[in-house]
Homo-oligomer: A and B are copies of this chain.
Amino acid sequence: MDKTKVALVGLGTVGTGVARLLLDYGDRTARHAGRTLWLEKAVVRDLSKPRDAELPAGVLTDDLAEVTDDPEIRCVAQLVGGLEPARSIMIELLESGKDVVTANKALLAEHGPEIFDRARQLGRSIAFDAAVAGGIPIITNISQCLSANGIESIHGILNGTCNFVISQMDELAADYQDAIREAQQRGYAEEDPTTDVDGSDAAQKLALLAHLGFGARVHWKDIPREGIESLSPADLKFARELGYRVKLLAVAQLIQDELELHVGPQLVHSDSPLADVSGAYNAIRVVGDAVGRVWFHGMGAGRMPTASAVVADLIDTVVGRTALTFRTLELWSEQPARVMPRESETASGRYYLRFTVRDHPGVLAEITSALSRHGISIASFIQHESSKHQEDKVPLVIMTHRTNEGATQKAFKEIREFKMVAGPAVRMRILD
């Protein structure tokens, strides 16, 4: 059987998984590629570091030139994280004539236009299904399988760390700090989990999906985002009482030819398939004008699920499918954006509001009339009797009817300043 030489750059968690699949399951990849994918080189920074993969002699190297100078290596999985030297390696690989597969969403979200343009100029291709939602092949599904559809919306649980932390808080009543520690111990959270828990990671992935699904060109930093840092067990409990779960959602939604984008914790009705996504799983709901609602659900991170996506991309590239897709889609090309972002203040939806109020007469009237002044009408309402330990403070939970982001922002800010409101106040969207 013919063989095609491939290489890896980066041999961390995902790289080790990719090496294993290539080395231990060569017959399988050969069956799908019609040729053997031969792991010729694996480039690492530090040769002496202990690794979780046994490589044949001569494969491991710390010299990228052993890849770029070998014209027989056609396709390289670039698995170095972060922006630099990942960006330079990417460009160097393209310039030396390699088709590239990558799992680095931060790199694409930051330097996508430059990298994709360069690949096009050089007649090369880039595959990146592992960059979003790990083992779930959402990139191929949106850009190929659902290509007959006008995409109307994408709602994703795209950050496994956040979903794990929320699940721990929701199902085991863990507090936020304990849940983070548990996630770190299980390898679901970095030592510094900031970019996961503040919504940055989900926003980067959303920017990629919004480009693929809608032709939007939005920098991830311009996507309004909230994290899970201030999420309280109380809200998870109230949500359940109301028949909902809380999830960190990344949302891209077409409204009157403009694209609303945001990332933040939202209430998801327990009937929705997204409500049942727990632990480190990811899921994406795509609504297309022909197919209707489709859900994809699987492991969003981890060695082997992500390696599954990288190796599928290597196979697609070697077979030649990636080149065809890449050429046709013109991602991040000089084409103008097909859709413009919508001002988030004009976004419409239902909201969950929680205020901690002093249990005095008149407080309810004051709050409801403030909401009413902003045109916000109340769909449901919870106020339990105050417990002895909380002195005279009680939580007040309100679910609104459909209203808009700007109005609830203003009303929320106004009510928080009321003298009768003391303690935490929370505002979250509700998924339709």
Q: Does A221 sit at the interface, judged by CB under 8 A?
A: no
Q: Does A109 sit at the interface, judged by CB under 8 A?
A: no
A141 touches B135 (CB 8 A): no
A129 partner residues in chain B, CB cutoff 8 A: 145
A299 and chain B: residue at smallest CB distance:
B292
A123–chain B nearest beta-carbon distance, Å:
15
A283 and chain B: residue at smallest CB distance:
B295
Q: Does A305 sit at the interface, judged by CB under 8 A?
A: yes
A147–chain B nearest beta-carbon distance, Å:
4
A148 partner residues in chain B, CB cutoff 8 A: 21, 25, 28-29, 32, 307-312, 315
A293 partner residues in chain B, CB cutoff 8 A: 298-299
Q: How far is the CA of A219 from the CA of B34 in the complex (A)?
A: 26
Contact with B along A274-305 (1 / 0, CB 8 A): 00100000000000111111111111001011
A328 touches B319 (CB 8 A): yes
Q: Does A321 sit at the interface, judged by CB under 8 A?
A: yes
A193–chain B nearest beta-carbon distance, Å:
23
A276 and chain B: residue at smallest CB distance:
B273
A141 touches B144 (CB 8 A): no
A356–chain B nearest beta-carbon distance, Å:
33
A136–chain B nearest beta-carbon distance, Å:
6
A34 and chain B: residue at smallest CB distance:
B328
Q: How far is the CA of A319 from the CA of B329 in the complex (A)?
A: 11
A190–chain B nearest beta-carbon distance, Å:
21
Q: Does A325 sit at the interface, judged by CB under 8 A?
A: yes
Q: How far is the CA of A289 from the CA of B290 in the complex (A)?
A: 33
B140 touches A329 (CB 8 A): no
Q: Does A320 sit at the interface, judged by CB under 8 A?
A: yes
The dominant DSSP class at the A interface is helix
A194–chain B nearest beta-carbon distance, Å:
27
Q: Does A59 sit at the interface, judged by CB under 8 A?
A: no
Partner of A320 from B32, B147, B149, B324 at Cβ < 8 Å: B324
Given known contacts A295-B295, A298-B292, A321 and B32 CB-to-CB distance under 8 angstroms:
no
Partner of A17 from B290, B294, B295 at Cβ < 8 Å: B290
B145 touches A141 (CB 8 A): yes
A291 touches B304 (CB 8 A): yes
A328 partner residues in chain B, CB cutoff 8 A: 32-34, 319
Q: Does A226 sit at the interface, judged by CB under 8 A?
A: no
A292 partner residues in chain B, CB cutoff 8 A: 135, 298-299, 302, 304-305
B141 touches A34 (CB 8 A): no
Which of chain A's residues 111-156 have a Cβ closer than 8 Å to chain B? 129, 135-137, 140-141, 143-150
A329 and chain B: residue at smallest CB distance:
B32
Given known contacts A276-B276, A308-B290, A144 and B295 CB-to-CB distance under 8 angstroms:
no
Q: Does A327 sit at the interface, judged by CB under 8 A?
A: yes
Q: Does A316 sit at the interface, judged by CB under 8 A?
A: yes
A147 touches B298 (CB 8 A): no
A120–chain B nearest beta-carbon distance, Å:
13
Q: Which residues of A line the B interface, CB within 8 A?
A: 17, 21, 25, 28-29, 32-34, 129, 135-137, 140-141, 143-150, 271, 273, 276, 288-299, 302, 304-305, 307-312, 315-316, 319-321, 324-325, 327-329
What 8 pairs between A and B have smallest CB-CB spacing? A148-B311, A137-B145, A294-B298, A32-B147, A290-B308, A135-B291, A34-B328, A291-B308
